[in-house]
Amino acid sequence: MKTYISIIIFTVLMISCSKDSKIDWDLKPHADLLVVESLLTSDTANHFIHLTLSNPYYDSKDPRAVSEATVFVTEGSKVYSFVESSETKGLYYSTEKFSGKPGKTYDLTIKLKYALNGKDEFKSSAKMPEGLKIDSIKCEIYEMPDLEDQKDQKEKDTTILAVYYFGDEPKVATNYYLARTYRNSQPLQSNSKEFLTYESHEDKNYTHLATFGKNVSGDDLITFKLYTIDRSYYRYLEAISNMDQTGMATSLSGSPANAVGNVPNALGYFVVAFVSKATASAEDLR
Amino acid sequence: MKTFLRIILSLGLFIFAFQVSAQKITLSGHIKDAGNGEMLLGVNVYEKNTTNGVVSNAYGFYSLSLSPGKHNIVVSFIGYTALDTVINLVSNTTFNFDLNEAASQLKEVEVKAKRASDNIASTQMSVTSISSKTLKQIPVAFGEVDVLKSLSLLPGVKTSDEGSSAMSVRGGARDQNLILLDEATVYNASHLGNMLSVFNNDAIQNVEFYKGNLPAQYGGRLSSLIDIRMKDGNKKKFTGTGGIGTLSSRLTLEGPLVKDKGSFIISGRRAYVDLLTKALHAINDTIPNVPYYFYDLNMKANYSLNPKNKIYVSGYFGKDVYEFESQKKNFSNDLKWGNYTGTLRWNFIPSAKVFTNLTLLVSNYNYNFGNEFIFGKEKKKSKFTWNADLIDYSSKYDVGWYVNDKNLLRVGLISTYHKFNPGKVEGYSDTIRYNFKNPKNNALEHAFYLSNEQKLSPKLTMQYGIRYALFQNIGKASVYKLNSDYETIDTAIYAKNKIYNTFHSLEPRIGLTYLISGNSSLKVGYSRTSQFVHVASNSSTGSIIDLWIGSGPNIKPQYADLFSAGYFRNLFDNKIEASVELYYKNMENQIEFREFATPQFNPRMDGDFRKGRGRSYGVEFLLKKSEGRFTGWFSYTLSKSERKINGIQEKDWFLSSTDRRHDLTVVNMFNLSKRISLSANFTLKSGRPFTSPSLRYQYEGTILPYYTGRNNDQMPLYHRLDLAITIKGKDKPGKWLHNELVLSVFDVYNRSNPISIYFMSDDDNEFVTHAYRQSFLGLTPSITWNFNF
């Protein structure tokens, strides 16, 4: 669908004879903010919380890690502590393996060693939704049509990966999903802009289809991971996917705006999601 | 209580209209162009050296109440030689005037009897009338004469982007302008993705532009009215006009159906971007082949059954087309979008004091997109279609009653049936089928109005009126019920033809003019307007995939209150009109989409709307010269336009995207000789607001910006100079074909004003970001050859 909209935009741009030139443009400064990345799923695992700082917009340095913070997650009376990885500064893992439970609410607390903009404690809360459990998948490969708008892309996607997945959806009014695929255990989506997200309303079918414009071949083993997420995180990812490569809003998504997370006074998101996965060989139908 | 007071106040005023005056008789008739028999609207008919006069209506009709006896009647209209006639009235008299076009503008045309108070005494404020002749002289991009772009040169009018026809009038949104073509609403008035308006100047007779204080007979939009009237067609002889331009060519034919009784006009235009780029691509394959074109067709016919009855039928049909097929022919794309309108009118004059008009209308905007993709060894098919449209059926009855020499009463009724189809998507990929649609939304919109233009004293004139509007949603419909977090919690189903939701709006309109002297006046005005149909778009510039939707349980009607005041003065023996107008506009229920919502393919669109307030205020200065060798205007606007929308990230008031604090425009037209005329316009205005980031951060491998607020930054100063020269061919006696060459240059000194400033990562290092300005066109010369016979 987005490809289709891109074609329309492309058409208008081609007709409009626009031209672009590099300029010096001063931006309004702002104090650094804490950035939270996390993923707590229904898998039994050592879940992670990643803490970094924002940079001035033109700053080309890597994000700075936030070390020596106290991080823990509570669910009812249970407390899961997180400790900083000795290998990666700012990355905190739960000290024990545990699995999130659908319907349960998880509370995150982050206490910084040094206050940031006058704040040294950040809190967030998220509830794990009921999720779709995948029974099996079927993967097919087709040839990508030769679209004019891909001419300028550095690496052209030459195939379409169609993943049919089978499973019953939770019986709620609207389900929100995030799909990620792996080729021979390597992620096919390199960043959150490439994640496939969608919402499902009344259609509670057993058969579902997700398509990805990616280069895959018949020998590849495809793993498909489906996260059932809440509406708020879906909106967060929707915001990211509707920004262009530099995070600006695209012409069809209105005025530029922030992707609003669920950690007050900080950026990023405390994600709690139900996950289900399946693996199958891809069938080349080109 | 407020509504009750409005009714009492309005009805009370009308009582004054029926005060008995001394015995009068009526002089009435039509005013026509002597050359082609076209009815002339806006012509002054008045008794010399008095304030007793009227202006001909949209069909060239006038009615003047006078005492029995001899009267020196003057008929004057810009660009025409004034008539000065003595008429001896003994009873009600019908008198048609034929005006001759002023032979030459090389010398100041002597309009000896021109009433000083044309613009001074008029009760209507904030209105501009532009003829197709004036439009032709204003230089524009690609040499394409464009009514909307020309209107954007007037004070109080802003466009969001270079080359865009989408207008913001006095801080209003672009969907708040009512655009009428022969009374039919034109919903998407642009070709070429907003770069050209759909109106072919060869088919236009006149444009009336109200940027506020709408008369009571008009409503349905908050900000402005652009009332475009098509030519009737030449009643005297068969003629043709046409032109070959850089982007498009056009041809217009007109002539009598029955001499002096009826006439027709047919006018067509086609753009040839497809043919042009195909030819250039064949020479140089780096030039893209753009399979795009547009066309439009205007048609009109009229016939006088007798002096009291006249029939008009007119229509417009236009389309933009983009058809693409990949080289391997396994992918094709088909995009079509356009409008059509139809108007059927019956003028009936039951008495010398009463003019009536019955109108039947149809308006449509639609787009149909589709693609087809063949894939796999087995040649499986994937197909996608997306259709959306809006159609209005309206009937309208207007009565103008010239009660006496002090009152002109207008009353009317309009009913419209709206059918909104905001979009239906259907498709399949091999065996999997999908379809979804935005719920259809049908509605009835009615309005009744009553207004009076009353001379309270020789110095004081008042125009007051009331408009009552009613909007009803009717089934069959599915309406989502939303909770406070805009989530759908239930769906209400309504049966066919069931009225399930009603909105009312009572709209007082009032204007007061006080003549300070023969050449100066003070005017004040107030108007309330409502709007029940809206563009569901998050683009400030307009788009070919705009969706129009009606108000309903989840989308409240928009309202605006406009207060304005102005001082008007004519200088140098009425050669120059000067004015200064102040305004304040408050707008309620302004709708916006939440951040990152996409109106297209969104069956739950209702839950993505957010509403809030708007306010704008400003002062507009205008100096205008309409006669002589040198004509044009100078305008300056100082204004501010803001929005405050609930439920979006920005919690405070923010500048609207079309806000430009300072806006200066100079438009000059100069007749150098009988054959050569020059024109130039210069624009200087503040850069428009935009949103720029302050921070960046990384989330799951993606670099994201952080913004401190909406429209927190401002683009560079905008300025541009356009020039045009028109060279007419030599006219010799007996020559049947007349022609002219128009050479125009858009953006003469190649300023290339930015349409956006954006930020992009370096190709080699995504952490290194640069700012870029995107501009459009720059220096663009064009040439057009026009002819007529």
Least confident of B105-109, B212-216, B598-602, B652-656: B105-109
How many C-beta neighbours within 10 Å does residue B773 have? 19
Higher-pLDDT residue of B765, A281: A281
Please give the share of chain B, as a percent, with pLDDT higher than 90. 54
pLDDT at B79: 80
**Nearest-CA distance from B390 to chain A in Å?**
20
Tens digit of pLDDT for each residue in B564-610? 999 999 998 888 999 999 999 999 999 988 888 877 777 778 888 99
Q: What is the pLDDT of residues A159-208, one digit of tens each?
A: 888 888 998 888 887 889 999 999 888 888 877 777 778 777 766 678 78
Give A233's pLDDT tier (boundaries 50, 70, 90): very high
In one-letter notation, the amino acid at residue B238 is F
pLDDT digits (tens, 9 = 90+) for B195-209: 788 999 899 998 999
Using CA coordinates, name the residue in chain A closest to B277. A15
Query: Is 70 exceeded by the pLDDT of residue B32?
Result: yes
CA B329/CA B248 separation, integer angstroms: 29
Interface membership of B312 toward A (CB under 8 Å): no
**What residues of chain B, 649 to 678, have a C-beta less than 8 Å from chain A?**
649, 657
Q: What pLDDT does residue A11 have?
A: 46
User: What pLDDT digit, counting tens, does each position of B331-370 carry?
Assistant: 888 889 999 999 999 999 999 999 999 999 999 999 898 8
Q: Which pLDDT score, from 0 to 100, does residue A4 have?
A: 47
B-chain residue closest to A12, CA distance: B193
The one-letter amino acid code at B454 reads Q
Nearest in space to B479 (alpha carbons), one of B545, B559, B393, B549: B549
Q: By mean pLDDT, which of B216-230, B342-356, B729-743 is the weakest?
A: B729-743
HSE-up of residue B304 (Cα within 13 Å, Cβ side): 17
Question: Chain B within 8 Å of A253 (Cβ-Cβ)?
Answer: yes
DSSP state of B147: H
Res A22 pLDDT > 70? yes
Task: Give the Cα separation of A95 and A75 in Å (integer).
Answer: 15
What is the C-alpha to C-alpha distance for residues A79 and A118, in angstroms, rounded to an integer?
27
Residues of chain A with Cβ-Cβ distance to B705 below 8 Å are 57, 243, 246-248, 256, 258
pTM equals 0.88
Contacts of B693 in chain A (CB under 8 A): 27, 57, 247-248, 256
The neighbouring-strand residues paired with B636 are B621, B664
What is the per-residue pLDDT for B605?
83
Sheet holding B702-707, edge to edge: A55-56, B693-699, B702-707
Contact assignment for B699 to A146 by CB distance below 8 Å? no
Mean pLDDT of A98-127: 95
Residue among A60, A63, A245 whose CB faces B697 most closely: A63
On the question of pLDDT at B2 being above 70, the answer is no
Is the pLDDT reported for residue B70 higher than 80? yes
Asked if omega into A2 is within 30° of 0 (cis), the reply is no
Q: What is the spatial distance between Cα B605 and Cα B593, in angstroms, rounded to a whole number? A: 9
Q: Which helix (H) or strand (E) holds A5?
A: helix A2-16
Which of A25, A173, A254 has the CB atom closest to B595's CB atom? A254
Cα distance from B726 to chain A (closest Cα, Å)?
Answer: 26
Which segments of A91-194 are extended strands (E)? 91-94, 105-116, 119-127, 136-143, 159-166, 175-183, 186-187
Q: Is A1 on the interface with B (CB under 8 A)?
A: yes
Measured in angstroms, the CA of A156 and the nearest CA of chain B are apart by 15
Q: For residue B696, give the chain A residue with the closest CA.
A: A57
Is residue B463's pLDDT more than 90? yes
A160 shares contact with chain B (CB less than 8 Å): yes
In 3D, which of B445, B347, B351 has the Cα closest to residue B401?
Answer: B351
Tell me how crowded residue A278 is: count the other CB atoms within 10 A of its CB.
Answer: 20
pLDDT score of B706:
93
The rounded mean pLDDT for chain B is 88
Distance, CA of B600 to CA of A69 (rounded, Å): 44
Whether residue B341 contacts residue B186, with contact meaning beta carbons closer than 8 Å, is answered with: yes
Chain B positions in Cβ-Cβ contact with residue A242 (cut-off 8 Å): 596, 598
Give, in degrees to the nearest 5, the angle at Cα B351 between B345 and B352.
100
Q: What pLDDT score was predicted for residue B606?
A: 85
Which residue of chain B comes nearest to A28, CA vs CA?
Answer: B694
Confirm or reject contact between B243 and chain A (CB < 8 A): no
pLDDT tens per residue across span B113-130: 345 456 787 878 888 888
The confidence score (pLDDT) of residue A12 equals 45
Highest mean pLDDT among A91-105, A254-268, B153-167, B723-737: A91-105
Q: Where are the beta strands (DSSP E) in B405-537?
A: 407-429, 432-437, 441-455, 460-474, 477-482, 488-494, 499-517, 520-531, 533-536
Judged by a CB distance cut-off of 8 A, whether residue A20 touches chain B is yes
Q: How confident is the model at residue A8 (pLDDT cuts 50, 70, 90)?
A: very low
pLDDT in tens, B271-297: 998 888 888 888 887 777 888 999 999
Distance (Å, whole) CA B217 – CA B452: 11
Give chain B's count of helices (H) and strands (E): 5, 51
* CB-closest option in A11, A61, A238 to B322: A11
> Does the pLDDT of residue B186 top 90, yes or no?
yes
Q: Hey, is the C-beta of A27 within 8 angstroms of any chain B C-beta? A: yes
By the CB < 8 Å criterion, does A259 face chain B?
yes
How many contiguous H segments (helices) and E segments (strands) does chain A have? Answer: 2, 17
**φ, ψ for residue B443 (rounded to 5)?**
-155, 155
Instruction: Name the residue in chain A with its Cα closest to that of B759.
Output: A246
- Residue A194 gets which letter from DSSP? G
- Residue B6 has a pLDDT of 53
Q: What's the pLDDT band for B540 if we cut at 50, 70, 90?
A: low
Start-to-end Cα distance in chain A: 22
**Percent of chain A clearing pLDDT 70 (strictly above):** 84
Give CA–CA dist B736/A132, Å, rounded: 79
Q: Which of residues 96-155 of A touch B (CB under 8 A)?
A: 142-143, 145-148, 154
CA distance B76 to B683: 32
Measured in angstroms, the CA of A201 and the nearest CA of chain B are apart by 10
**CA–CA distance from B455 to each of B124, B452, B528, B598 (Å)?**
13, 10, 23, 52
Question: Do B37 and B235 contact (CB within 8 A), yes or no?
Answer: yes
Tens digit of each residue's pLDDT (9 = 90 or more) over A23-49: 999 999 999 999 999 999 999 999 999
With cut-offs at 50, 70 and 90, classify the pLDDT of residue B42. confident
CA distance A95 to A48: 10
Number of A/B CB contacts below 8 angstroms equals: 253
Length of chain B counted residue by residue? 789
Contact at 8 Å (CB) between A64 and B698? no
Amino acid A16: pLDDT: 47
Interface test with A, best of B336, B485, B590, B697 (most A CBs within 10 A): B697
- What pLDDT shows up at residue A252? 54
B703 touches chain A (CB under 8 A): yes
CA distance A41 to chain B (A): 16
Using the structure block, give the residue that is written with the tokens 């043919």. B275
pLDDT of residue A230: 93
In angstroms, the separation between the Cα of residue A240 and the nearest Cα of chain B is 8
Yes or no, beta carbons of A252 and B543 under 8 Å apart: yes
SS3 (DSSP) at A66? coil
CA distances from B225 to A186, B452, B542 (A): 60, 19, 18
- Sequence-ordered alpha helix ranges (H) in B268-400: 273-283
SS3 category, B443: strand
Q: Do A146 and B330 touch (CB under 8 A)?
A: yes
Determine which of B699, B764, B765 to mutate to test the interface with A (most A C-beta atoms within 10 Å).
B699
- Across the interface, of A28, A53, A62, the residue whose CB is closest to B694 is A28
Query: Is the pLDDT at A261 greater than 90, yes or no?
Result: yes
Strands (E), B626-751: 630-645, 654-655, 662-671, 676-685, 689-690, 693-699, 702-707, 713-714, 718-728, 738-746
pLDDT of amino acid A140: 87
Residue B106 has pLDDT above 50, yes or no: no
Q: Is the pLDDT of residue B235 over 60?
A: yes
Instruction: Flag if B488 and A174 touch (Cβ within 8 Å).
Output: yes
Q: How many whole angstroms from its chain centre is CA B754? A: 25
Query: A25 and B700 in contact by Cβ < 8 A?
Result: no
At residue B620, the pLDDT reads 96
Mean pLDDT of B448-460: 93
What number is the average pLDDT over the span A228-242? 90
**Positive or negative, the Cα torsion across B108, B109, B110, B112?**
negative
Q: What is the mean pLDDT of residues B317-339?
A: 88
Q: Residue B108 — very low, low, confident or very high, per pLDDT cuts 50/70/90?
A: very low
